[in-house]
Amino acid sequence: MMIGQSVSELHELLVRKEVSSVELTKAYIERIHTVDPELKAYLTVTEDQAMVHASEVDRKIAQNDVLGVLAGIPMALKDNMCTEGVRTSCASKMLENFIPPYNATVTDRLKAAGTILLGKVNMDEFAMGSSTENSYFAKTRNPWDLQRVPGGSSGGAAVAVAADEAAFALGSDTGGSVRQPAAFCGVVGLKPTYGAVSRYGLIAFASSLDQIGPLTKTVRDNALVLNAIAGYDPMDSTSVAYEKPDYTKFLVNDIKGLKIGIPSEYFGEGIDQDVARGIRAGIQTLIDLGAEVSECSLPHTEYAIPAYYLIATAEASSNLARYDGVRYGYRTEAEDVLGMFKTTRADGFGQEVKRRIMLGTYALSSGYYDAYYLKAQKVRTLIKQDFDKAFEKFDVLLSPTAPTPAFKFGEKSSDPLTMYLSDITTVPINLAGIPAISIPAGFVGGMPIGMQFMGKAFDEGTLYRVAYTFEQNTQYHTLKPSLSGEVLARGSR
């Protein structure tokens, strides 16, 4: 069926007029109605709007206009990216009825590319979590095993792609929130270099760490989407004016002579041994394809989790101070203003969000700023220097994306520290501001695992090259869940 195909394949069908954008959009909407009551990937489905936009694309096709590669392609956005006139809730009671008056820059860029927005997908509340168990509305289920989490916080986006509920989706990645769910759901997820993709209109969690990235079925699709959303934006003060390449030019099936470093710290304590074996089998594949592989060290890795959770929570406590019941969002009435502030925040935020606000406020409080937040920023610099030193010798670094396959619901939610350690291999990349990509690399116990490639700042091209080569010489990306327990090849549904 056409909805199981990649963006590139769908584009060819549209160009050859073998299918219309309206037909394609209808097929995805029907798919959502069929499987999403069980999966709960979507919070809002924009069915009427999608059909109108699909009709506009079909008119251009009928006029034989040049069709952009993303034109007419149905997609989804994580529900923390502003969409004018469409609810943007951050999966929180606080923003349950918030309708933004403007679009995020990525929303505008995808709209300009002619994509069809199917709706907004579920997430951990305000992007705080690693399992999508923290959503106010529902728990999204992993299509490979409905008793397991899809990862987080971009769990809805990963599930939408894995279960053929969207051709691609955008997520946000603060400490692994695109890459970890991509690994858990068997899709491709990229966290671009900080500043490569505009954050304007992305509802902030931790401003110095957040970055929007694409989740797709294939590496080629990922490059196509990054082409559309990357680039300088004057509306974002952290956006970088760099010479953006055509990322599809790097999709060559050749890594002969490429130098790949394997950080020993990323295969240490906490990494499931079956996951490690699966990734090492992938490393052997890369060696067989001509890559030069050797071990390296990132010595400050052990400090990444504590540094990350100090910096991220401190920035969250500042960013979320705006939700006070006065300007917009949820509001609880009280006898006085102070009471209104307290009850609004107590009722409007979930447990994990309140936990992180309190941790961050404590870290920034008088007498503790130097001991905690400032020290964490110094550690962040050391972590970045570790990467800089490693990239003097290697073109890319390689690790497991997550230390385990997808875990069962409730398995880690009662112990926040255990949950936080799910991000042990991803948070250093956000602290350093460098790009990283997760691609399907095998299965453990019937669940997908991901291989992560890390690159130099603004060198997404090399990441695409090595990821594409691995993908073209393996079959993992061709497999998808059937939602009935058996694995089917993509397109065979």
Residues involved in catalysis:
78, 153, 177
Which tokens hold the place of 65? 């206009």
Q: Are 96 and 349 in contact (CB under 8 A)?
A: no
Instruction: List CB contacts of 190: < 8 A, sequence separation 6 or more.
Output: 178, 179, 213, 214, 222, 226, 435, 436, 437, 438, 460, 463
Instruction: List CB contacts of 228: < 8 A, sequence separation 6 or more.
Output: 70, 109, 110, 113, 115
Q: Are 40 and 15 in contact (CB under 8 A)?
A: no
SS3 content of the chain, % helix, strand, coil (to 5): 45, 15, 40
Amino acid at 451: M
Alpha-carbon torsion (153, 157, 160, 164), positive or negative: negative
- DSSP secondary-structure letter at 106? H
Q: Are 131 and 149 in contact (CB under 8 A)?
A: yes
What b/e string do you get for 193-211 counting C-beta neighbours within 10 Å, with b at 16 or more?
bbbbbbbbbbbbbbbbbbb
Q: Are 408 and 447 in contact (CB under 8 A)?
A: no
Amino acid at 353: V
d(CA 462, CA 382): 24
Ramachandran quadrant class, 285 (left: phi over 0; alpha: psi -120 to 50; beta: rest): alpha
- DSSP secondary-structure letter at 100? -
Amino acid at 472: Q
CA distances from 347 to 306, 354, 358, 411 (A): 28, 10, 15, 26
Rounded (10°) angle between helices 47-62 and 21-39: 160
Alpha-carbon torsion (432, 433, 434, 439), positive or negative: positive
The backbone torsions φ and ψ at residue 75, rounded to the nearest 5 degrees and listed phi first, read: -145, 175
Burial (0-12, 13-18, 19+ Cβ within 10 Å), 321? exposed
Peptide bond before 153: cis, by omega within 30 degrees of 0? yes
